[in-house]
Amino acid sequence: MNDYFVLNRFYEREEIRQKCGLGFWGGIRFNSAQNLLVLFSNAHDDRPTSDYHGNIYKDYYDSAAGLFHYTGEGQKRDQTVSHGNKRLRDAKVDDTRVLFFRQYIPKGKLEYLGLVSVEYQTKEIQKDADGKNRNVVVFWLKLISGPLINDEEAIYREIDSDIETDPRSLSRISKAELDEEITKVSKQIAKQGPKIGKSVLKAKVRYQRLAKIVTLLKARFDDKCQVCSADHFKTKTGVYSEVHHLIPWSVSWDDTQENLVVICANCHRKFHRATDPERRKMFEQLTSNFPNVKFYAPSFLIGT
Ligand SMILES: [Zn+2]
Ligand SMILES: [Zn+2]
């Protein structure tokens, strides 16, 4: 089941629901045939709108403990250890796999943070959906699949994920023609200049402009990773690759060719979480593979 999801990539809730064969409701959903539990940690938002019911739970990652604070299910009155909460409590004993997805922006996609286990369970007082104090069950989750990458970077990761596009439409164009087109589009983007903005809404607008160059780059580098040269693997619909901003998009606001690389999922994770010396090695590999491209120098080259 976790083969369907790549660590630190973002998925639509409906996509997760379908792939895992889940019901429509709840933060904790169970697939009994697969003995699989899926946890959704939604962005906190206590101001519901007509098309969004908000989220009363204030969940967070406790970096000192290295554990994720996850509030159990139950919108009103005291929560009890029943239904989903019971399944989660008993997951270890029942040998249930628990997949964890986290959302950062209300209505946004959810990041796959891998498999988790419940380290222990506590009680605390939180407000319920009616604003009344009540007892909730808190599960302290340990991430099994890998350490949590810091929250601030989640927005970059979401953007990197969101610019996945389907390069198949360009498959008949030669590499030379693609190179020409990439240079042209990249120049246009550079000429328009970075659009500085703060809100996520502005980011959404910008994604759309990115799509064109990302599609071109993915078609151009559809065979292997620009860093480690591993072959991109084939999927049912094409080739799987990821695009990464060398200088984080939210810092540079720059989508030109010099700031974007088409890489494998492994290298992408390394670019986001490896140590600086490790990342410097990757960058050296990249520049030696493509001596003619003047890639932007990320901050880890300078060292901190
Ligand atoms: Zn790679
Ligand atoms: Zn990235």
pLDDT of residue 58: 80
269 and 167 in a common domain: yes
286 and 173 in a common domain: yes
Q: Which of 113, 130, 148 is the last residue of a domain?
A: 148
Residue corresponding to tokens 């008993």: 90
259 and 198 in a common domain: yes
Q: Which of 148, 171, 190 is the last residue of a domain?
A: 148
Q: How many domains does the chain have?
A: 2
For ligand 1, the distance from its centroid to the CA atom of residue 191, given in whole angstroms, is 30
For ligand 2, the distance from its centroid to the CA atom of residue 68, given in whole angstroms, is 23
Residue-wise pLDDT tens digits, 150-167: 776 776 677 666 655 555
For ligand 2, the distance from its centroid to the CA atom of residue 159, given in whole angstroms, is 8
Ligand nearest to the CA of 225: 1
How far apart (Å, rounded) are the C-alpha atoms in residues 245 and 299? 12
Print the domain residue range for 89: 2-148
Query: How far is it between the farthest Cα atoms of the chain?
Result: 65
SS3 content of the chain, % helix, strand, coil (to 5): 35, 25, 40
CATH number of the domain that 19 lies in? 2.30.280.20
pLDDT of residue 146: 76
Ranges of the chain with pLDDT below 50 = 1-2, 196-202, 304
291 and 263 in a common domain: yes
Model confidence, pTM: 0.70
Ligand nearest to the CA of 244: 2
